[in-house]
Structure 1
């Protein structure tokens, strides 16, 4: 059995209060938080604490059960957030964990539906461009002239699509970020 020893550090009052507040928000004791930082530093992972995307080609289908003990307030908050996003509390916690472990997006049904609609519109724009290119490459005169106004309209549609997707991605990242 390894014998534990004590490490004592002196902090000014403000630094100590900020450290204790951070640990309280993280749900750990100040000594546990310091121990975790020391372990990360010694293991060389302090410089790379960002989650790494999953490299599995085949999804892992095995499942293990994990039971959490939450305060009533924490549980109520999770239920409220899950309800807002159209999922169960259990599904919400799973998405939270996976997003932080993998660094990959975890979309809810509303986001998936919106992305699907947006991609359908972008595919339609792509088909229209292909038809125009085919006519031009075949040397056939287009029934309607491609005007700057139509190109501007197409550009606006594409910008709307990309802005919408960017907003969804940003919202997804913000949703699952642990603070």
Structure 2
């Protein structure tokens, strides 16, 4: 068994109140929070020697009622069917540092691909008229090309909004995504 030591420090009244409030809002004791912070800042391989991996594909996490209410609210607002799906997406996003899409967002991207395919067909038709049937090129007007450009810009904005929302949700980046 590893020998345990006591760590002490002096805090002002304000620091002590802030520390207690922080630990309480996280639902973690002051000792456990300090231990977690020390392990994060100064990791030591011997600390991990007591780590026990779970033997099933299930991890149980306990939250305060206040935190559960916040999780339920965020899950509902972001289109997740329940808190577990939202929590899983949060963990995966943190683990892989990539956006994790909800079903609604996946459907938006599928629709995006359908719209891009339609725009691609329009561009192919224009290219065919301009390159092969040059005699009929007067059928293509500036307005038609401008309309196609507007559809592309609207589409790009929709996808950018989706990606920005997702990146902000998982705090992957503070910078907005632009294509």
- If the length of structure 2 is used for normalisation, what is the TM-score? 0.71
Measured at CA, do residues 129 and 120 of structure 1 come closer, stay the same or move farther in structure 2, by a change above 3 Å?
same
Which sits farther off after the overlay, 166-175 or 65-74?
65-74
Cα drift, residue 64 of structure 1: 0.4
Per the alignment, residue 116 of structure 2 pairs with 122
Work out the CA distance in 2 between the residues paired with 1:125 and 1:94.
Answer: 36
Which structure: greater helix fraction? 2
CA RMSD of aligned residues (A): 2.8
Deviations 1:121-172 (A, max 9, x none): 122112212222233233623252241x333322322222122112212222
Per the alignment, residue 39 of structure 2 pairs with 39
Work out the CA distance in 1 between the residues paired with 2:18 and 2:116.
Answer: 48
Please tell me whether residue 7 in structure 1 is matched to residue 7 in structure 2. yes
Equivalences for residues 127-166 of structure 1 within 5 A:
127-138=121-132, 140-141=134-135, 142=137, 144-147=139-142, 149-166=143-160
Per the alignment, residue 53 of structure 2 pairs with none
Unpaired segments of 5 or more residues in structure 1? Answer: 45-62
The answer to which structure, 1 or 2, has the higher relative contact order (CA under 8 A, 6+ apart) is 1
Are 1:82 and 1:92, in contact at CA under 8 Å, matched by a contact in 2? yes
Cα drift, residue 17 of structure 1: 3.2
Q: How many residues align?
A: 159
Unpaired segments of 5 or more residues in structure 2? Answer: 45-55, 173-179
Per the alignment, residue 30 of structure 2 pairs with 30
Measured at CA, do residues 137 and 97 of structure 1 come closer, stay the same or move farther in structure 2, by a change above 3 Å?
same
Work out the CA distance in 1 between the residues paired with 2:28 and 2:57.
Answer: 24
Which sits farther off after the overlay, 68-77 or 122-131?
68-77
Cα drift, residue 80 of structure 1: 4.2
Correspondent of 2:71 among 78, 81, 86: 78
- If the length of structure 1 is used for normalisation, what is the TM-score? 0.71
Work out the CA distance in 2 between the residues paired with 1:4 and 1:171.
Answer: 45
SS in 1 for 2:91: helix
